Structure 1
Amino acid sequence: MLAVLAAVTPAVPSFTPVTPAAANPATDPQTPPPGTLRVVLLSDDGTAAGPDVLVAPGGGPGDQDARLAAVVRDLEADRPRWVWHDTTRWYPRLLAAGVRVERCHDLRLARRILRASAWTARSAWAAQEPGPWDALEPLLPDAVPATPAPDALFDIDVPRDVPAELDPVAELRAQLDVLATASGEPGASARLRLLVAAESAGALVAAEIRHAGLPWDAAVHDAILTDALGPRPRLGVRPARLEALAVRIRDALDAPDLNPDSAPHLLRALGYAGVPVTSTRQWELESVDHPVVAPLLEYKKLYRLYTANGWSWLDAWVHDGRFRPDYVVGGVVTGRWATSGGGALQLPHGVRRAVVADPGWVLVVADAAQLEPRVLAGLAHDERMARAGRGGDLYQGMVDAGAVATRDEAKIGVLGAMYGGTTGQSAVLRPRLAAAYPDAVALVDAAARTGEAGDVVTTRLGRTSPRPGDEWQASQSGAFDESATAADESRARTTTRAWGRFTRNFVVQGTAAEWALCWLATLRGRLHALAPADAAGAAPAPFGRTPHLVYFLHDEVVVHAPAALADDVAAVLRESAAEAGRLLFGAFGVDFPVTVATVESYADAK
């Protein structure tokens, strides 16, 4: 069953009212009050499956949210797939009321996939001009209060920023029609359905991670900063350690007024001092023999800590013992996640000591070993490459098979093939890799040629790359102009090769992101199925007694779990990884092993 959450439409044929006592629907059952929320019950094909359920506004702050949560909780017993405009607008409200849903269909995320997929491009719906649905953006988490404000008025409690003309029932039916007619690859419709389901499940995971929060000890974090930078300074003053390094840098460059935080000023001072660098990148500074190098590199490292995860970050992002990441599902064109704040995808190892499990609980940390090479083997159905990764280290397996001499050579060769390395050791190893694993190398080479021709490539489940932009088009046109110069032709070749490298990696990175989504979706369900623990943690309901995801980074997850369930969680992590591989590649035998560590502090996982 599908249960569509929406604002009420002017005409409602039938409904089961859920209203405050002051509003008696018996007087006019066909005229619900303004601001009523509507649950439309549909069958899986989009046809009517039951009377609508209306949740009327009125009452005190948060009253309608409480009634909506009650309706959702009751209907959840029938395992519906909840359908809504956008998970960021609906699910945080339910979580705040302690309600978890098993599955959903996120219309905004699904539309982005289906409108761009090569497998739906022939449909009239996909060819339509962009409209209000395409303009819908996720609601930033800082605009969604964790609990209703005490003085909030919910008289008209339709989710914010959703234009009234967006009809989720009509949009769902259009998407179901497009999914049913997808073509271009064997099983295109089923693959796209899996992608839409996995992407929607990812949106649930992202909302739940933010709701539960990553356990964070602010006192440990403050101690880390104090040890590295000195005591917390007053506003506008550098920490003592940074100021001492700044003095050393000024002395070494004979630049008493230098502000080392300004890259242009720093580069000028380096030039005046005769330091032959064109940037302040670490590799370039390390190639220079000059007294400024050591303090400058140390300053850069500490400045990064101070600005990215210093006291201001701690004040802004850690509350009630939790860091709540702002994930943006599908925020990168390949399908990888991004963040809208807080730097969740760049937590440095130096601050991970502050990530500490609740008393009686542990962190179970898992990461997928060599994910992208294994995905490449599955995409290409390269049996020899898949065999190299069975039962252990894929790179060492390539060495054992005689494809290359050392593990480092295997890694360099595979990464070069996936990312388009054409110089140095990558170029030397390429012929050997192509001879040993011809199917894998042929797949990424074909993807590169497609991109160089200005065409699109598609992941295993149907996410499609964008077409090259104006710069690519201009460079190609300029190269064929009668007045084209050698420089124009060179620029065209450069942009052509660059786009080929993008599409070469898109198919692998995008499919790896799909594997990760399937891992998260499977893991989320299996964790919830574990028996609740006796010991309660500090995470808000509905996660106070059950293992739950608290962090995700491309191919790594962190689960916060009662200590007594740690072994069960580890088993679920491995089983879910294997299931994700089967969902993507069926019976083709490519292994997806994960390394699992059970720790009290995230810093101890690696």
Structure 2
Amino acid sequence: MHIVLEAAGDGGVRATGLDESDEPRFTEEFPRGRLPEWVAAHADGPRWVWDDTARWYPRLLDAGVRVERCTDLRLCHAVLRRALATARSRLATAEPNGWDRLETQGPDDGGLFRIGDETAQLDAVAEFRLQREAVAQADGGRLGLLLAAESAGALIAAELTFAGVPWRADVHDRILTGMLGPRPAPGMRPARLAELLGELRERFGSPDLNPDSPPELLRGLRRAGISVSSTRSWELKRVEHPGIPALLEYKKLSRLASANGWQWLDSWVRDGRFTPVYVPGGVVTGRWASNGGGALQLPAQVRDAVRADDGWKLIVADAAQLEPRVLAGLSGDLAMARAAQGADLYSGMVESGAVQTREQAKYGMLGAMYGGTRGESGRMVPRLGKAYPRALGLVEAAARAGERGESVSSLLGRSSPRPGTTWPALGDVDDQAEADERERRARSDNRAWGRFTRNFVVQSTAAEWALCWMAALRNRLWTLGSGTLRERPHLAFFLHDEVLVHSPAGLADEVAEHVRQTAAEAGRLLFGAFPIEFPVTVSVVDSYADAK
């Protein structure tokens, strides 16, 4: 049975139970204060349906109520609106409406029960029926799995924020002090940055050099006779000048101070926990984004502050070469799958004779998946194309489709957007020079979009694998231990192909085995009997910095 929850007009909650034919079995309204109690009383069996998990689930978690399954209508609507498989459905062909404008919100911003707001007037039951109809009309059933995985991801994201990442503020402060010097007064540079600034101004002969402003820094470098087109670190590393090492150190430390310095620590770490806000499906490929805290850009410099609680352990798991393995499964390339039978796919490529070195294999695959045509990547792609024609043929076909302005889809059916810019035909432009320029720009734009669709099919399917992995692991972790979510082993951090579990020490080895098993389970769920392996590197540690 499905139970649809939506805001009632009087600021309460309306619950509608639907049978297998999506016909109402009951409708009940109750005050919003009774929501956790009501859900807990109906916890066994149903799949909960609501407009946005981020609006509803945190309230339940705060009250100690865990939900096993849900349908997140906002996330599912976005997938179905764009999916090629549902392009002719009533949902996809409807005029833009409130479901298209619905943005994820937290439960404390008033969005859930705000009377008069357009989103409060949305009919969740009608939307759910439209979504079920669209999926039923699609072939293969894969979209149903995608929507289930997407909704499970929404539950996981809320639980990650609720549980938080175990974080030692005192360790973080020691790291910052050791690298930057004592905490400075507001508005002042840390001591080490001030020291480096003086050195930079002297070495570049510029008393007013401001390395915090890229345009000013670029002008200062050029005045010092250094010809660079940008102030990016990769370009500066190519320059031979006595001031460059200090400049690179300044940039690195300045980034640490601004992104994860003392102000970040004050803002985001409370009671021994870092609680970032995740945005599932925040990227068009299905990858997550974060809304505050920079969870998806956590630098190695501060990872030692991620420490397990006393009597607990961190289980850190990293999927090895996820995207190339996904490409092998997606394309059905048996030769590439054989190379992936082991912990290191790139070494397997060398052993197969496809390339001579591991570095060539790595750069060649990056070029194939991201459209690299220069340097080592460009040289290796043709060789890999001969060894693995199905895999490289798939991304080439996706690139050509993108260049034609077409959409491409992931394994489970998430489809890419179409290019937003169209150029007129030559006959629409009177001036031939302008026509030539527009054609040149159009071809450039088309090539760029082809690079996007080339990677879309791989990255999007990899995101689906990661969601299936976490969904299976989440359910297994709940069966271990007892008590609330925070008292059992639980997911604490996620970064594309890496997860971190916080677990009582006595269960750590069992958790590690579940991590490995669910990674393999996700592979079978997506690729069936196709012989592609998804090994994960698992470390049981006290500090995130000690993970392999």
Query: Residue 55 of structure 1 is aligned with which of 30, 44, 50?
Result: 30
- State the identity %: 59
**Matched residue type, 2:4:** V
In structure 2, the partner of 1:276 is 227
In structure 2, the partner of 1:4 is 4
Cα distance, 1:143 vs. partner? 4.0
Query: Residue 43 of structure 1 is aligned with which of 10, 15, 19?
Result: 19
Q: Say whether residues 1:574 and 2:524 are aligned partners.
A: no
Rounded to whole Å, the distance in 2 between the matches of 1:165 and 1:581 is 40
| Number of equivalences | 546
Q: Say whether residues 1:301 and 2:277 are aligned partners.
A: no
For the Cα contact (< 8 Å) 1:81–1:103, is it kept in 2? yes
Rounded to whole Å, the distance in 1 between the matches of 2:412 and 2:524 is 13
For the Cα contact (< 8 Å) 1:37–1:158, is it kept in 2? no
**Matched residue type, 1:37:** V
For the Cα contact (< 8 Å) 1:92–1:144, is it kept in 2? no
Rate the CA distance shift 1:384–1:479 in 2: closer, same or farther, 3 A: farther
Q: TM-score, normalised by structure 1?
A: 0.87
Structure 2 counterparts to residues 207-222 of structure 1, below 5 A: 207-222=158-173
For the Cα contact (< 8 Å) 1:191–1:461, is it kept in 2? yes
In structure 2, the partner of 1:521 is 471
Structure 2 counterparts to residues 192-591 of structure 1, below 5 A: 192-470=143-421, 473-474=422-423, 477=425, 481=429, 483-485=431-433, 486-532=436-482, 542-591=484-533
Rounded to whole Å, the distance in 1 between the matches of 2:199 and 2:484 is 53
Cα distance, 1:270 vs. partner? 1.2
SS at match of 1:163: helix
Rounded to whole Å, the distance in 2 between the matches of 1:109 and 1:181 is 19
**Matched residue type, 1:499:** W
Rounded to whole Å, the distance in 1 between the matches of 2:323 and 2:61 is 34
Rate the CA distance shift 1:159–1:557 in 2: closer, same or farther, 3 A: farther
Cα deviation digits, residues 430-452 of structure 1 (max 9, x gap): 23211211111111111011011
Cα deviation digits, residues 22-78 of structure 1 (max 9, x gap): xxxxxxxxxxxx323121111243122x3223223xxxxxxx43x21111111112x
In structure 1, the partner of 2:536 is 594
Rounded to whole Å, the distance in 1 between the matches of 2:535 and 2:218 is 46
Q: Say whether residues 1:168 and 2:124 are aligned partners.
A: yes
For the Cα contact (< 8 Å) 1:89–1:160, is it kept in 2? no
**Matched residue type, 1:546:** R
Q: Say whether residues 1:102 and 2:68 are aligned partners.
A: yes
In structure 2, the partner of 1:137 is 103
Rate the CA distance shift 1:51–1:493 in 2: closer, same or farther, 3 A: closer
Rounded to whole Å, the distance in 2 between the matches of 1:353 and 1:159 is 46
Rounded to whole Å, the distance in 2 between the matches of 1:287 and 1:298 is 15
Q: TM-score, normalised by structure 2?
A: 0.96
Q: Say whether residues 1:69 and 2:20 are aligned partners.
A: no
For the Cα contact (< 8 Å) 1:90–1:159, is it kept in 2? no
For the Cα contact (< 8 Å) 1:452–1:499, is it kept in 2? yes
**Greater than 6 Å deviation, 4+ residue runs:** none
Rounded to whole Å, the distance in 2 between the matches of 1:495 and 1:480 is 19
Rounded to whole Å, the distance in 2 between the matches of 1:6 and 1:415 is 45
Gaps of 5+ in 1: 10-33, 57-63, 146-155, 533-540
For the Cα contact (< 8 Å) 1:479–1:492, is it kept in 2? no
**Matched residue type, 1:572:** H
In structure 2, the partner of 1:14 is none
For the Cα contact (< 8 Å) 1:416–1:426, is it kept in 2? yes
Cα distance, 1:250 vs. partner? 1.1
For the Cα contact (< 8 Å) 1:377–1:440, is it kept in 2? yes
Rate the CA distance shift 1:160–1:316 in 2: closer, same or farther, 3 A: farther
**Matched residue type, 1:261:** D
Cα distance, 1:141 vs. partner? 7.3
Cα deviation digits, residues 169-221 of structure 1 (max 9, x gap): 111111111110114xxx1xx11110101000000000000000000000000
For the Cα contact (< 8 Å) 1:330–1:338, is it kept in 2? yes
Rounded to whole Å, the distance in 2 between the matches of 1:317 and 1:546 is 23
Rate the CA distance shift 1:352–1:144 in 2: closer, same or farther, 3 A: farther
RMSD of the TM alignment (CA)?
1.9
Rounded to whole Å, the distance in 2 between the matches of 1:436 and 1:557 is 32
Cα deviation digits, residues 544-569 of structure 1 (max 9, x gap): 32100010000000000000001111
Cα distance, 1:3 vs. partner? 0.9
Cα deviation digits, residues 322-364 of structure 1 (max 9, x gap): 0011111101110000011110001101100000011100000
Rate the CA distance shift 1:379–1:479 in 2: closer, same or farther, 3 A: farther
Cα distance, 1:80 vs. partner? 0.8
SS at match of 1:596: strand
Rounded to whole Å, the distance in 1 between the matches of 2:425 and 2:68 is 51
Rounded to whole Å, the distance in 1 between the matches of 2:5 and 2:114 is 10
Rate the CA distance shift 1:564–1:266 in 2: closer, same or farther, 3 A: same
Gaps of 5+ in 2: none
Cα deviation digits, residues 214-257 of structure 1 (max 9, x gap): 00000000010011111101101111110011111111122222
Cα deviation digits, residues 482-527 of structure 1 (max 9, x gap): 6444544432322121111111100000000111111111111111
Rounded to whole Å, the distance in 1 between the matches of 2:437 and 2:8 is 61
In structure 2, the partner of 1:125 is 91
For the Cα contact (< 8 Å) 2:113–2:120, is it kept in 1? no
SS at match of 1:460: coil
Structure 2 counterparts to residues 21-36 of structure 1, below 5 A: 34-36=10-12
For the Cα contact (< 8 Å) 1:375–1:512, is it kept in 2? yes
Rounded to whole Å, the distance in 2 between the matches of 1:161 and 1:139 is 13
**Matched residue type, 1:120:** T
Task: Between 440-449 and 492-501, report the one with greater CA deviation.
Answer: 492-501
Rounded to whole Å, the distance in 1 between the matches of 2:97 and 2:442 is 34
Rate the CA distance shift 1:560–1:443 in 2: closer, same or farther, 3 A: same
